[in-house]
Amino acid sequence: MINFATTHNDPDKTLNWNERLGYGSAALGFNMINGIIGTFLTVYFTNVAMLDAAIISGIIAISKLFDGISDLIVGRMVDNTHSKMGKARPWLLRMCVPFAVATVLLFFVPSNFPMALKYIYVFIMYNLVNTVCLTAIQVPFYALISLLTRNSYERGFLGNIQQIFQTLGNVFINSVFTILLTKFSSSADTYMTQQAFTLTVSLVSVLMVIAVLISVFSTKERVDDKPSGDAEKVEDKVPFGVAVKALLSNKYWVMMFFAMLAIFFVIIFYSIGGVYYAIYILGDMGQVSWMNNAISIAQFAIMFATPFFMKRFGKCPIYAAGMLCLTLGFLGFSLFENSVPMMIFFNALKGIGLGMSGGMAMGMVADSILYGQLKTGVDAVGLGNAGVSAAQKIGLGLGQAIFGWVLSGAGFDASLDTKGIAQPNTVLTAIRMMYNYIPMIMCAVIFVMMLVFFNLEKDLKALKVEKGIID
């Protein structure tokens, strides 16, 4: 098989740029799909498929329960995969096309179906996309970084590249999606047509497949994870219940669990809310491009500086500072919604906050798991990371569901748009609350929690000294 990865097989040596960028390519691919689903799926359901927002929200909420469980299942399947290509890359290869096809079908609710059958269709397709396909491609991708290299610098470098490519995926979707909808629309009056969404999502899905294939054929798994002696048996001796108890007794892991859940709740609120804000507050869905890009570009830029901040101040202070930037960004946007330059400025401030906190988050999770391991003697690395992944999905799913419920409860009716009738003021108030005020409050709470209760780096250092790991 043709492969453009670094030629050597030494897991401790550096990688070439082909492999570094190739690894990031997959992140670009599936984050384009994530961006479409996170930002445009709800508005497609309500304004094109003409489905009830409350029912859709219930479907998403229930589906996320399955999605959280599937992480653990797929993680185990990856661990048990043995092939010439390795453990993770075969999953990327075999799942990219099903993921693309399922995504297109998710945005193709048959108009001639009875209403009840439409909701069944949405339930099946949403779970096929998220619970099955996305999980089966994303979990192996995250595992791949540990399989390409043991080199600590390279792992850190690959992690940064991953974040950069994910952000580029967001920028791409924010920049071109509404333009493509307009180009492919079957109506000159609106881009909210089935044809527009079908063709646009199909095009992006093809690009996603290409991006993932680039990753498959430009990387090589070098790390031999086969245990020696009784290493595997020792790991298996930790009962599930004991690992859960150890995690729940670890105050820092518990705080990170809720912080990750909350921040992903915030992310989905402003992602979905941005579309509705652009349509019903600013009067043009095309405005969502600069709204979201102000966030994504600032987030992208700050990523190059966060390693220096971390070295100088530590992870936790940078994370807290990021939460403060987010809080001020949401507050400022709400106060200056009649000034585009000020809205851009405060959305950029949100992006800086996301970049600072996001760059520190997984490192803090790893530190919290290590703290618990030193404190209790229980190795709960796998379950700890799976739990945080589940927290992210719960936050996304819960946020997406609550957004729809609140929108429906406020009296939102997409059919009013086709009649030229404005949405009631209660809907406009709800959109403002969900785009600005609720995220602001949640970020402020996380900031206070980190500032007052989070002393992980100090306590972890003390534990290492106590255990004789450092002097």
CA angle, residues 379, 366, 466, in degrees to nearest 5 = 65
Residue 334 within a domain: yes
| Residues 278 and 358 grouped into a single domain | yes
CA angle, residues 349, 38, 324, in degrees to nearest 5 = 25
| Residues 381 and 423 grouped into a single domain | yes
Q: What is the CATH number of the domain that holds 350?
A: 1.20.1250.20
Q: What is the pLDDT of residue 338?
A: 82
DSSP state of 422: P
| Residues 148 and 270 grouped into a single domain | no
Domain boundary among 222, 250, 278: 222
Q: What is the pLDDT along the chain (471 residues), one digit of tens a residue?
A: 566 666 677 767 887 888 888 988 998 998 899 889 888 898 899 889 999 888 888 888 788 778 777 877 777 677 677 888 888 889 999 999 999 999 999 999 999 999 999 999 999 999 999 889 988 888 788 778 767 877 756 765 776 777 788 888 888 888 888 889 999 988 877 778 999 999 999 999 999 999 999 999 988 888 764 444 444 444 445 677 888 888 898 999 999 999 999 998 998 888 888 888 888 888 877 777 788 888 888 988 887 787 778 778 888 898 999 999 999 999 999 898 888 889 899 999 999 998 888 777 877 887 888 888 888 887 776 677 667 777 888 888 788 788 888 988 899 887 887 788 888 999 999 999 998 999 999 999 999 999 989 888 888 888 878 877 664
Radius of gyration of the chain (CA): 22
Residue 6 within a domain: no
Domain boundary among 222, 257, 284: 222
**Dihedral angle of Cα 248, 75, 126, 394, to the nearest 10 degrees:** 10
Question: pTM of the full predicted structure?
Answer: 0.72
CA distance 178 to 51: 21
CA distance 378 to 235: 10
Sole residue written with tokens 């901040």 = 309
DSSP state of 446: H
Residue 228 within a domain: no
Residue 26 within a domain: yes
Count of CB atoms situated within 10 Å of the CB of 123 = 17
Structure tokens at 311: 């070295």
| Residues 53 and 189 grouped into a single domain | yes
3-class DSSP state for residue 101?
A: helix
Residue 120 one-letter amino acid: I
Q: How many domains does the chain have?
A: 2
Residue 131 within a domain: yes
| Residues 271 and 418 grouped into a single domain | yes
Sole residue written with tokens 């609106």 = 190
**C-alpha of 306 from chain center:** 19
3-class DSSP state for residue 470?
A: coil
Cα torsion angle, 51, 102, 37, 65, sign:
positive
Structure tokens at 285: 């869905």
| Residues 351 and 461 grouped into a single domain | yes
Residue 165 within a domain: yes
Cα atoms found within 13 Å of the Cα of residue 174, Cβ hemisphere only: 21
* Domain range for 33: 14-222
**251's torsion region: left (phi>0), alpha (psi -120 to 50) or beta?**
alpha
Q: Name the residue among 158, 166, 176, 197 with its Cα closest to residue 48.
A: 197
**C-alpha of 399 from chain center:** 13
Domain boundary among 194, 222, 250: 222
Q: What is the pLDDT of residue 2?
A: 61
| Residues 190 and 246 grouped into a single domain | no
Structure tokens at 276: 């509705």
| Residues 354 and 207 grouped into a single domain | no
CA distance 442 to 96: 35
Do 387 and 61 form a contact (C-beta atoms < 8 A)?
no
Residue 161 within a domain: yes
Cα torsion angle, 459, 460, 466, 470, sign:
negative
| Residues 136 and 280 grouped into a single domain | no
| Residues 316 and 402 grouped into a single domain | yes
Count of CB atoms situated within 10 Å of the CB of 237 = 10
Q: How far is CA 417 from CA 204, 272, 424, in A?
A: 27, 18, 11
Q: Kindly provide the b/e burial profile for residues 328-346, where b requires at least 16 CB atoms within 10 angstroms of the residue's own CB.
A: bbbbbbbeebeeeeebbbb
Q: What is the pLDDT of residue 247?
A: 86
Residue 382 within a domain: yes
| Residues 164 and 278 grouped into a single domain | no
| Residues 214 and 252 grouped into a single domain | no
Q: How big is the chain, counted in residues?
A: 471
Terminal Cα distance for the chain, rounded? 49
